[in-house]
Every structure is written in C-alpha cells, then in structure tokens.
Structure 1
C-alpha cells in the first residue's frame, strides 16, 4: 500500500503539479464533447503510472481513462481476463485542473478476483492521501477515518448531487429542501474523500465509469458506508465491472434507504 502511495505522489509531483496553471492551448484537447477535456497532464501521468504500477506487480494490467477512450474494447478485454487490474484516473476533475481550479485528484484502484481490493485518492498539489484496503479500513494521511454513521435521515445529511439529480428532484418533487446541505465539486475523488472522512454523508452519480468510482466506493465502504446501485431492490452492490442507471453512496443504511427511495424515480430501474 505504501509503495503505491509513494508512486502516485511521485508521478503527481512530476507530471501533474508542475502543469497546474501552466497549460497552453496546445496542452488541452476535447474527447466526446466540448466539456469533456483531456490535458497533457492526464496523458503523461497515466502513461507513467501504467508503467510503474504494472512493473510493481508483475503480471498485472492497466485500465486507464485515456487508454480506454483511445481503445473502447480495452475495458471489456481486461475485465474478461484473470490478471490484477490497475484502474487509473490520472486527473479526476480535469475541467477544474484545465481552468486552474481546485479540487482535482489522482485516483487508482486495484481490482482482482472480481472485486476492488485496494484504492488510493491523492491530492497532487498537497500530497494528501486517502487509501483503503479491503478488510483493513480507510486511512487519511495514515490516520483511520470513519463515515458519519449517526446521520440517518436526509434532512440531517450533507451530500453531493450532480446537476442531473438536482434538476430532476426539483422537477419531480417541486423542491430541493430534503437535505441539510448539497454541494458539487466536479471531482468525484474529492467528494468520496470527504464522505469517507465524515465531512459529508452521501453522493449520487449517473455516469459510472470504473476509474471514476472504483477507488472512491472502496474508501466509503471501508470507512463504514454503503455503495450500491440505485435500484428497486436496494441490494445491488457497486461493482467496477457493472453498470446501472445510477450509483448512491451513503454513511448509514437508514440514510441510504431513504435516499434510494427519493432518487429511484429519477435514476432507477
């Protein structure tokens, strides 16, 4: 765990941090649409992380966000195999990074035997690291952290909702005052970190790419929270190789159940 943390910190310090606020127009490109940005920091950090992590664990393979964009068949191929998979999001929150805004994070998960077994989310500027290993808990800068499990109702909860969810809630229910507070960072990694640390209580997402959620969901689970798909049964655990209309993480079973009922007409199937 510590070796991987060190590698991510080193790559972040060499490939990401020096480019923050220093990008030229030729250093930024778009992918699927005008708001889907990629920068030289994304591509170079992913390239180096792929080399160093697969070298650290012989026989492993990598699934990086940028490599998966270049080769749409990559995810299916690596998940179909038996090798351990490094799931890499080199710069989570690229839009923030490209516009010289915080937060953004470097995220890595290790997937093996059909499940996420370890996860790292690191601030490339400050070096703060939140890490989790399956069965061993979640740690922020080497200190154990836990979710706010005493928060059991939405009216007492603070959380993160994407604009899709906020807009749908207003349209469907006519108001948004179900919660104590709502935020949105445009950076899943920072949101997952703050839930695992007990600073916020829930998050819900629609686009479920494995590099966006495999690291953070393990952090939340190992800190005592829940990460499940938004479904009528309410029992479908998040899986890096799975898919659903929506994902909901919460700090207690009671809060998760209330939030799932609230969001099901908007997300669920």
Structure 2
C-alpha cells in the first residue's frame, strides 16, 4: 500500500511544530531524562510526538503495526518483530538528534518509514529547524523541499563523511578505525536525519555506523538507493534491511562508486 506522501508530511509538520519546536530551548529539568547512558536523552517532546504520530499514522494505514523508538526502549521485543514478522510497519523516530535538541543545537528531525514485508516502501525525513522534507517512495525517487533529486557525483579527493563507530566489534575497531582516520575526513554522526539529508544532497560522501536502529536508517537507506547510492554492511556486503544490528559496520553513500572507494580504503 502506498500512502499519499503529502498527507504524512502534513501530519509530521503539524506534530513537530506543536510538540517539538514549541519546546526547543524551553525544556524544564523534569522534562529531560536518560535511557541507556548519560548522553542518551529522552524528553517530553519525544514522548508527546511519538504518541501523536502513532495515532495519526495508524489512522492513515489502520492495518499497519507501529514501532516507535521510545516504545521500543520500553519494550525491546518490539523491534525484534522486524526479524520474523511479515506485514506492514510504521517505524518512527519522533525526535532524532535528541541530544542536540536538549543542548539547544538546531540539528534535529523526525524520521518515518513505512515497511512492508521487510522492505522499506516509503520514507520521510523532516529537518525540523528548516521545516524541510526529504521524501521518498520505492521506485518513485526522492524529493527535497518538493524538488526531485538526481544522482550525486562520486567522491573526489579525500572522502568526507560521518562516523558512529563506538559499537564496532573488536576486529573492526583494530583495523577500520585507524584506516578511517588516515584515509577519510569524518565528524561525529549526531543526527541521522541530517546525515541522510546531506548524503542525498551530496553535501557529504558517506556515513559509517556501528549501532543500527531501524528508526534511524530505514527511510534514509531507501532514499539513497533511489538516487543511485548504497547502504550495505561491510562484513558480508549485504544490503541494509530494516532491523536492529549492533557491532557490524554499515556504510552508506549517495553514490555507488563512492561506496566502493570508501569500502576499499577502510576495510
């Protein structure tokens, strides 16, 4: 089933404005807590936006299941459904870049993917401070701010990208991290929404991840494929699929030649 992309955009923009933007720079201490560690923040904005998105999205596709980041944090069994269940799922990160949001850095967004039978069919990435959407549908391309995107050029010179490698397995830590430092220029991947937007716009060449949550990657990986890029694991070269993996290196790039160039350089 294909949902009218504009209807989902309207839902996201309205909820982001009312539940997230309205709280930016105005969070009370009681509205900020942590999950897995001291820098893994969750706020009242995350919870309020997720609750409203669940109700609105299930109204658009009543037969789908819903997996939100905060619901999965409370019940990790939810995300495991993607490993073995068929059918349709809304996969939602209501506020990606929560740490930025808490620390008043204006780089945060909402990411939504519609997955059917293990395949991402549609995706929306909303850059909340810019009020701008990257929107994609499988087989129908990607738009940014309503304009259709074309292929991005291959990396020239030293590849520039993002890194999130703290969860890499030891065998990869010992070889890949030194190569990454020596042969590329990277900055930390603090917000998947902006990382994928910059990849589809050709503003960055690649991103390397080691802890891969489906709400961070399902929409963006599909969009990369639609513009001729690639998101795949370096251990077995398998294409990204919407599920949780930890320790495996996922390389994402907006151009297949760039993907191969970076893979050769760091693995």
Under a length normalisation based on structure 1, what TM-score does the superposition of the two structures give?
0.88
CA distance, structure 2, for counterparts of residue 171 and residue 248 of structure 1:
13
- CA–CA distance in 2 between the matches of 1:171 and 1:161? 10
The 8 Å contact of residues 96 and 111 in structure 2, kept in 1 or not, is answered as yes
Structure 1 residue aligned with 2:191, among 187, 196, 199? 187
CA RMSD across the alignment? 2.1
**Alignment map for 1:105-184 (pairs within 5 Å):** 105-151=109-155, 155-162=157-164, 164=166, 172-173=178-179, 176-179=181-184, 181-184=185-188
Give distance in 2, aligned partners of 1:95 and 1:8: 20
Does the 8 Å CA contact 2:121/2:138 hold for their aligned counterparts?
yes
Which structure dedicates a bigger proportion of its chain to strand?
A: 2
1:88 aligns with 2:92: yes
Partners of 2:254 and 2:198 in 1: CA distance: 11
Aligned 8 A contact 1:146 1:198 in 2? no
- Deviations, residues 159-217 of structure 1 (Å, cap 9, x unaligned): 1123648x8679635x83423x4333500110100110111111110111111111111
TM-score normalised per structure 2: 0.89
Of 256, 259, 262, which aligns to 2:262?
Answer: 259
Distance, in Å, in 2 between the alignment partners of 1:242 and 1:163 is: 15
Contact kept, 8 Å, 2:108 with 2:193, in 1: the verdict is yes
- Residues in 1 aligned to 2:161 and 2:53: alpha-carbon distance in whole angstroms: 31
Count of aligned pairs between the two proteins = 257
Q: Is the 8 A contact 1:61 1:78 kept in 2?
A: no
Q: What secondary structure does 1:206 align onto? A: strand
Contact 2:208 2:251 in 1 (8 A): yes
User: Is there any run of 5+ residues in structure 2 with no aligned partner, and where?
Assistant: none
CA gap 1:21/1:7 in 2 versus in 1, 3 angstroms:
same
2: CA distance, partners of 1:18 / 1:195: 28
- 1:2 to 2:2 alignment: no
The match for 2:250 among 241, 247, 251 is 247
